[in-house]
Structure 1
Amino acid sequence: MAERPTTVWRQGIAEEADELAAGTLDPECGCMAELFPEHLLTATDAALDAFERDLVGAGQMDDVRVLGVVERVVLALNAVDEAHKGQAFETDERELLCDYIDESLTEHGFDVIALTSRHGLGKYQITNKWRKW
């Protein structure tokens, strides 16, 4: 099952907190909680929750419907990023989100490579048309 990026970020926050508490990490080097405040994680999870609900039956959807599902999650994540002054998702976060979208579609029976090929897109370009983050 595709691992949510927010799960990875929460694990990083917890690991960093443990290291800070144990004194094995210099407090000046701790940044995870600042990079991923709870309101960012909650908003991102809400967008991903809606995406997962929309994915039910993706394997039987036509391209237009699947692209609509992708568009909705990307626009929701754009709104999260905009609410955080365009600084919510940096390169690593973008890659995790895009991988999550691709893997989730695949797990729900949709052939992402065939879809992107039919629409003249590269393998990892399914979000590019709408993505601002």
Structure 2
Amino acid sequence: MAIRPSARWRARVDEEATELAAGTRSPSDAFLTELFPESLLVATDEALRAFELNVEVLRDQDDEQVFEAIKCVVLVLNEINEEHDGAGYETQEREELCLYIDHTLMEHGIDVPALAARRGISRTEITDDWRAW
């Protein structure tokens, strides 16, 4: 199963905290709790968990229902990003979120390249209609 980006981000925050506590990282080099505040991690994790649940039932559904699930998660992620002053998801995080959406769909039997092709877009564009981050 695809690992949620929020889980990876949390692991990085925890690792940084451990290094700070052990004295192996200088406080001046610590920034991950600022980059990934708890509110961002929790909200993102909840949004992605809801997406997973939505996708579980999509295996035999039509394209519009799949795109509706994509739209739903992207709009929630837009809100989370806005709640964090439009800086919740930087370039790397955006890429991780898009890959997670793609991989989650594929893991649930949805042929993402074919899905995108039927809409006349590339697989990297499946979130573009709604994504503001």
Q: Unaligned regions of 5+ residues in structure 1, if any? A: none
- Contact (CA 8 Å) 2:7, 2:45: kept in 1 or not? no
1:108 paired to 2:113:
no
State the 1:16 CA deviation.
Answer: 0.7
* Contiguous gaps of at least 5 residues in structure 2: none
* Residue in structure 1 matched with residue 51 of structure 2 by the alignment: 51
Q: Tell me which amino acid in the other structure corresponds to 1:81.
A: N
Could you state the TM-score of these two structures normalised by the residue count of structure 2?
0.97
Single out whichever of 78-87 and 54-63 deviates more from structure 2.
54-63
| Equivalent position amino acid for 1:82 in 2 | E
Quick check: 2:106–2:112 contact (8 Å CA) kept in 1?
yes
Give the distance between the partners of 1:32 and 1:8, measured in 2 at CA. 12
TM superposition shift of 1:123: 2.1
Aligned length: 133
Amino acid at match of 2:64: V
CA distance in structure 2 between the aligned counterparts of 1:4 and 1:56, rounded to whole angstroms: 15
| 2:121 is equivalent to residue 121 of structure 1 | yes
2:80 maps to: 80
Structure-2 separation of matches of 1:68 and 1:47: 14
Matched letter for residue 65 of structure 2: R
Percent identity for Structure 1 against Structure 2: 50
Matched, 1:40 2:40: yes
Mapped to 1, the partners of 2:82 and 2:33 lie a distance apart of 19
Distance of 1:61 and 1:33 partners within structure 2: 40
One-letter amino acid matched to 1:67: F
- Deviations 1:18-51 (Å, cap 9, x if unpaired)? 1111211111110111111111111111211211
Letter in 2 for 1:30: A
Q: Distance in 2 between matches of 1:83 and 1:29?
A: 26
Please give the alpha-carbon distance, in whole angstroms, between the structure 2 residues aligned to 1:107 and 1:43. 23
Q: Secondary structure at the match of 2:45?
A: helix
Q: What secondary structure, in the 3-state scheme, does the structure 2 residue paired with 1:124 have?
A: helix
Q: Is the 8 A contact 2:5 2:93 kept in 1?
A: yes
CA distance in 1, matches of 2:3, 2:103: 9
